[in-house]
Structure 1
Amino acid sequence: MRTFLASSAGVTCAALLTLPLAPAAAAHPGQPAHARTTAPARPTPAPVPGSTASLPLTRLPAARADGRDRYDATLSRRTTRPFSLVGIVWDDPARTLTGTAEVRVRDAATGAWGDWRTLETHNAEHAADRTSREARGPRVHGATAPLWTGAADAVEARVSGPAPLPEGLRLDLVDPGTDARTPPAAPRPPAAPRPPVGPESLPRGRAPQPAIVDRAGWGADENLREPEFGYTGPVRAAFVHHTASGNDYTCAEAPSVIRGIYRYHVESNGWRDLGYNFLVDKCGTVYEGRAGGVAKPVMGAHTLGFNTDSTGIALIGTYTDTAPSAAALDGIAKLTAWKLGLNNMDPEGKVTLVSDGGNLYEKGAKVSLNVISGHRDGFATECPGKLLYEKLGTLRSKAAALQGR
């Protein structure tokens, strides 16, 4: 559900509390069993659907000291509906937002305003290939990377850059909604049974499927995405990403972060579904991303120009200046070993993919890439962050070992 907010009036929303079940009343010694009483169970709270609200930014032309024009856009401090994830959106997906985009928010629990935080402005490279129907849809927009803020109820924003800024600049506030499960759902066992002994019981080049939290497990609203699925050829490469959404989340919050990114990708970017095929949190838990079957070659929208014959895996967080945890790397290694092993692809090998066009390779170019590549290998971008990119060699070795190579 998308809401457009045009005024600064605050909206109050009651918090949803999940209370523990009352313990059963202890029976008096000798009391007959049928006389024992148990406190009535409290009803399980229903999930609260998420929403997206849009606030237009005001463009403010100003003069630089050297006389050249500079255009700024701002959103004055505004009380809003509760939200937990933000991003700046504009009309034309082909336009790039240069310069700096920043937001600051008010903590919904404490009422304190946080510091200004920078949004990753170059997000067009996380997208469907340009010749796909998904990339040409009427709802597709340009957007920054989303930023996880945690529960907030007020915001201000500012954008500075060379003229002209993209048209239709607005701030999208995403409420990921709540999931009825408390605590968050644990990873579900793989659909196919695991081998009884371990990786050594599988043929060389194969690895056991790791536990994966499916879409129901993280609370996906399946009415949000387009109903049909899209597939590509056999998965022969994996592109590693970071979501660039910040590291201020707990692992218990990861399902909420994913619901927020999912809604942002669909309602703000205008994509048919979540762009990544899989996500991994900093505790190493693996989550199903785009719908269509974890073992199937689902076409994603993660690496512009190279979504064909590949899978996109995003580590939740920003890893430019923060090193990924050992648990997160282990989760990615297990996932890539299994997913690439379905087609007997060597995680330490090379693969040739055909580019659909981007800023590094023209359409139709045959490109030799690592079977496990970083996003920046297929597109000129900072993704997956310097410190995660530096760990790709370790990831390749771990995944190959899990395949028995």
Structure 2
Amino acid sequence: MGARPPADALTTLDHPANRILIHHIAGANSTDYSLAHAFQVARDDQHDHIDNNGWSDTGQHFTVSRGGYRLEGRHGSLDALRGRTTMIQGAHCPGQNTNAIGIENEGLYTSVEPPQPQWESLVVFCAYICRQYGIPVEEIKGHRDYYNTECPGDRLYAKLPQLRSEVAKALM
């Protein structure tokens, strides 16, 4: 709600995604779990990506707030996901932007774990993405697996095997 239009045209790729990359915003671990706060986080992220990074839109496809709200980041990502056969080119990880769905998680997870509402929402959403695109759970990876970064933070990165396991159960 309140997102700006993309600064430039976005590219729709004529193939589905084959991987999910987990990120963290590396911002404050807010205790405001409201929908209004989630919208503000998404707007702030878009502002940063367009105005400070010079990108066309938010780099990642989706954002999960600490309160568990799932929001579209890059315009058109949800429609592409629903259609199952295309994806919007991202700007979340060099070398992965044409094949991986980027999910940004609000917060900083270097020394704390995500709150339960965010975690549960991330599991459900990853299961949905895997189902829509036919992505095997083994292809749920962290940003640092493909780029020299601390993202998604040591604590969230350490939970990726659990995420894959819980997503596999959700897909049964």
**TM-score calculated relative to the size of structure 1:** 0.39
Matched, 1:303 2:93: yes
Q: For the aligned residues, what is the CA RMSD?
A: 1.4
SS where residue 12 of structure 2 aligns?
coil
SS where residue 29 of structure 2 aligns?
coil
**1:254 alignment counterpart:** 38
For residues 288 and 298 of structure 1, the distance between their equivalents in structure 2, rounded to whole angstroms, comes to 12
For residues 94 and 28 of structure 2, the distance between their equivalents in structure 1, rounded to whole angstroms, comes to 22
Q: Which residue of the other structure, out of 301, 310, 323, is the alignment partner of 2:113?
A: 323
**2:21 alignment counterpart:** 239
Superposed displacement of residue 228, structure 1: 2.8
SS where residue 402 of structure 1 aligns?
helix
**Aligned 8 A contact 1:230 1:298 in 2:** yes
Highest Rg: 1 or 2?
1
Query: One-letter code of the match for 1:378?
Result: Y
Q: Which residue of the other structure, out of 275, 281, 285, is the alignment partner of 2:65?
A: 281
SS where residue 251 of structure 1 aligns?
coil
Distance 1:249 1:269, change over 3 A: farther
**Aligned 8 A contact 2:2 2:43 in 1:** yes
SS where residue 373 of structure 1 aligns?
strand
**Aligned 8 A contact 1:240 1:312 in 2:** yes
Bigger share in helix: 2
Question: Alpha-carbon deviations, 1:65-112, whole Å to 9, x = none?
Answer: xxxxxxxxxxxxxxxxxxxxxxxxxxxxxxxxxxxxxxxxxxxxxxxx
Query: One-letter code of the match for 1:317?
Result: G
Bigger share in strand: 1
SS where residue 78 of structure 2 aligns?
coil
For residues 38 and 24 of structure 2, the distance between their equivalents in structure 1, rounded to whole angstroms, comes to 14
Superposed displacement of residue 375, structure 1: 0.4
Matched, 1:267 2:57: no
Query: One-letter code of the match for 1:229?
Result: L
Query: One-letter code of the match for 1:308?
Result: T
**Aligned 8 A contact 1:235 1:340 in 2:** no
**When the two structures are aligned, how many residues end up with a matched partner?**
163
Identity of aligned residues (%): 33
SS where residue 235 of structure 1 aligns?
coil
Superposed displacement of residue 282, structure 1: 1.2
**TM-score calculated relative to the size of structure 2:** 0.88
Larger RCO: 1 or 2 (CA < 8 Å, sep 6+)? 2
Structure 2 stretches of 5 or more lacking a match? 81-86
**Aligned 8 A contact 1:230 1:292 in 2:** no
